[in-house]
A and B are shown apart, each in its own frame.
With several copies, the nearest count.
Chain A
Amino acid sequence: MFSTFANPHRFMSLTRPLLPILTVVAAVMLAAGWIWAIGFVPDEKYQGPTVQIMYVHVPAAMVSLAAYSTMAISSLLYLILKHSLADVAAKSAAPIAAALSFICLVTGSLWGRPTWGTYWIWDARLTSMLFQLFLILGYMALRSAFQREQEAARAGAILCLVGAVNLPIIKFSVEWWNTLHQPAGFISLTGDSSLTAEFFWPLMFNLIGMMVLFGAFLIATMRSEVYKRQYEAKLARLNRSTS
């Protein structure tokens, strides 16, 4: 199943129409979420207007975890199936995941100042998020240190999978330690949300919008990576036939 879908040509032709659709959906969702959040949601009882940061922070945090998971799953697929499209996915997701982690960290510490009274504290969730950023930067540095794409792919995949041990720690750190950070509860498996509906729905829009935006970015970078590789392969073939 995977290999029929993973044919680069099929991938390219499938995603060509998909990309504008995803972009438009993301734009609409995010715009709606933002207008709702800024224009129609009352200030929170204790936090005042700073609660607006939540609409960036929470989606960025959650989608960055999703982005890293995408990298990890693609890496695993690459190691098992040796299919280069899986590697393209992992490689393309990395800078996006890094950017999202960065946004999460920045918005989180901006939010921390008014709520906790400090920009930074060495708590488990914050630290593990910081190290997720480092891990992704390390992943990118490691890849760029290799000459050949296959070697870079393999090394990157190994690092990414090994680094996935960090994921559950980020995710569940708030439950394992009593920290300053908000515990999960915005979307819980039991279905009851600690957020009231007026906060919940705009957040939901932003979250889904961010998710779709990630998908659009991912597909766009993957497409350009596939183009680049096709071009390089063509160049190599040309070199061979002329020399």
Chain B
Amino acid sequence: MKGILAIFRRELVLAWAGGSGLFLPAAFFAGTIFLAPLGVGAEPGLLSRLAPGLIFVALCLASLTTLERIFQADLEVGALDQQRLSGLSMELITVVKVLAHWLVSGLPIALLTPVAAVFMRADTVTPMTILPVFLGSITIFLWGGVGASLTAGLRRSGPLVALLVLPLFVPVVIFGAEELNHILTGQTFGAGLTLLAANTLAALAISPFAMALALKLE
């Protein structure tokens, strides 16, 4: 337990200081919120409708770009070997890595969603706005971790292998964006939220084993 906490703490520091910390979500956030209106024009109704889709696409990209590098970099320099020799289970190690990075680059996007919504002039912004993005971001990071570990284990750089997980993202994006849209337009939650939560649970249950297996592929 102390060992896994040590790994968690380290990954958190790495994620934070190693560049992805806050910058990445901030960058995607900025990309979403600043660049989109530049291209679309600043008409009120238009922007707020774009927001859910853009936020979820930003999440997918953030998860892939941050996670892809951690697994691959650790594998290349042999840091993963050392972690495996610590006797801790790979399932725990991988999921801890993903969660640390989610905490640093996924969660802030979720927390910033209401701000984004305000900027994009949504009708109603409640604290509930965070919920679908919160669930969606964990799920996307976990599935993204599976894609990243496959890339790393196969030593093929590049998004080719990450393409494999795109289908896993699709339900999250669809349900998540739909629910977010509901909330932003002042409607109540729909059935999508349950499906989203189910997807999150599935990701939590399956992805650790998938990631551990993928990294042992070598």
Q: Mark A128-146, 1 if CB is under 8 A from B, else 0.
A: 1011101101100110011
Across the interface, do B217 and A151 meet the contact criterion of CB distance under 8 Å?
yes
Write the nearest CB–CB distance from A196 to chain B, whole angstroms. Answer: 32
CB-nearest residue of chain A relative to B23?
Answer: A141
Do A162 and B163 contact each other (CB < 8 Å), given the known contacts A155-B150, A155-B214?
no
B128 beta carbon closer than 8 Å to chain A: no
Write the nearest CB–CB distance from A161 to chain B, whole angstroms. Answer: 7
The size of the chain B interface, using a CB distance under 8 A, is: 34
Q: Which one, A9-17, A35-43, A119-127, A185-193, is touching chain B?
A: A119-127
Q: Which one, B86-94, B95-103, B168-176, is touching chain A?
A: B168-176
Chain B residues in 8 Å Cβ range of A163: 167-168
Interface residues on A, range: 20 to 34
Question: How many inter-chain residue pairs (CB < 8 Å) link A and B?
Answer: 89
A204 beta carbon closer than 8 Å to chain B: no
Across the interface, do B163 and A166 meet the contact criterion of CB distance under 8 Å?
no
B73 beta carbon closer than 8 Å to chain A: no
A159 beta carbon closer than 8 Å to chain B: yes
A158 beta carbon closer than 8 Å to chain B: yes
Across the interface, do A158 and B42 meet the contact criterion of CB distance under 8 Å?
no
Contact of A132 among B163, B167, B191 (CB under 8 A): B167
CB-nearest residue of chain B relative to A166?
Answer: B167
Docked CA distance A141–B199 (Å): 25
B108 beta carbon closer than 8 Å to chain A: no
Across the interface, do A159 and B164 meet the contact criterion of CB distance under 8 Å?
yes
Across the interface, do B38 and A162 meet the contact criterion of CB distance under 8 Å?
no
Q: What residues of chain B have their CB less than 8 Å away from a CB belonging to chain A?
A: 30, 34, 37-38, 41-42, 143, 146, 150-151, 153-154, 156, 160, 163-164, 166-168, 170-171, 174, 191-192, 195, 199, 202, 206-207, 210, 213-214, 217-218
Q: What residues of chain A have their CB less than 8 Å away from a CB belonging to chain B?
A: 79, 121-124, 127-128, 130-132, 134-135, 137-138, 141-142, 145-146, 151, 154-155, 158-159, 161-163, 165-166, 169, 176
